[in-house]
């Protein structure tokens, strides 16, 4: 957290992309390179995949627990995706914004639009395009995590999702990872400097005016 003189309000940065585009690699690197940025840990009703850990990748809950959280208005957004529910816990994210810390979301289109509608001044949306549908298919098959039917569903959904690029603040083409990451980092740095988030500016300006009087 920055000191009071240079205190900024955090932001919510949402990265949306079809499966197999590389958004997980992009988000993990951005978080690793910025100490004031933390990855949102969603709650989900699906089972852990190989290598996933409770509290790091997701909060794995049963459907009854998830339903109780929905009833308590505990999510910024939640949705059902591929027969499983996902939700972004509200309280820790909003508290982080007040502390000047930012939250990064690896999220789907529906979730990103819900969060932006809930908190438009805090939200920044980025869509990551694949170099080709063929490359997406190759990556999905290579990671061997989904059935052939699920892969077909993901590819079909991607074709409709990419047409929604105009709904986003920024669009990145991930045909070269290093270049795509550099563009994503530039977006984050610029949004952190947005005047509306720099809560210290008004006090400094008032002091400068007093000094000039």
4-205: CATH homologous superfamily? Answer: P-loop containing nucleotide triphosphate hydrolases (3.40.50.300)
pLDDT 10s digit of each residue in the chain, 213 long?
444 468 899 999 999 998 778 888 999 999 999 999 999 999 999 999 999 999 988 999 999 999 999 999 999 999 887 789 999 999 999 999 999 999 999 888 888 999 999 999 999 999 999 877 777 767 666 776 667 777 777 777 777 788 888 999 999 999 999 999 999 999 999 999 999 999 999 889 999 999 998
pLDDT of residue 180: 97
Predicted TM-score (pTM) above 0.85: no
pLDDT of residue 137: 67
In 10 A of CB 119, how many CB atoms?
Answer: 15
pLDDT of residue 198: 92
pLDDT of residue 3: 46
Q: Exposed/middle/buried for 162, CB within 10 Å: 0-12, 13-18, 19+?
A: middle
pLDDT of residue 144: 64
Q: Strands 170-173 and 123-129: what pairing?
A: parallel
pLDDT of residue 152: 74
**H or E element, residue 201:** helix 201-212
The domain spans of the chain are: 4-205
Q: Output helix, strand, coil percentages for the chain, rounded to the nearest 5.
A: 50, 20, 30
SS3 182: helix
């Amino acid at each position: 957290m920055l000191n009071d003189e240079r205190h900024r309000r955090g932001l919510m940065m949402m990265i949306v992309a079809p499966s197999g585009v590389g958004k997980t690699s992009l988000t993990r690197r951005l978080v690793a390179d910025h100490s004031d940025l933390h990855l949102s840990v969603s709650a989900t009703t699906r089972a852990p995949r190989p290598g996933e850990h409770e509290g790091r990748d997701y909060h794995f809950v049963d459907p009854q627990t998830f339903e109780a959280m929905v009833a308590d208005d505990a999510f910024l957004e939640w949705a059902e995706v591929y027969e499983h529910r996902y939700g972004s816990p509200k309280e820790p994210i909003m508290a982080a914004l007040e502390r000047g810390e930012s939250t990064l979301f690896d999220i789907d289109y529906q979730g990103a639009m819900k969060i932006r509608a809930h908190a438009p001044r805090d939200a920044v949306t980025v869509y990551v395009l694949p170099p080709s549908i063929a490359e997406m298919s190759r990556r999905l098959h290579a990671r061997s995590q989904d059935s052939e039917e699920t892969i077909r569903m993901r590819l079909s959904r991607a074709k409709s999702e990419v047409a929604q690029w105009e709904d986003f603040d920024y669009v990145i083409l991930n045909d070269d990872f290093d270049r795509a990451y550099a563009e994503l980092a530039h977006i984050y740095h610029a949004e952190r400097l947005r005047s509306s988030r720099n809560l210290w500016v008004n006090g400094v300006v008032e002091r400068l005016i007093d000094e000039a009087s």
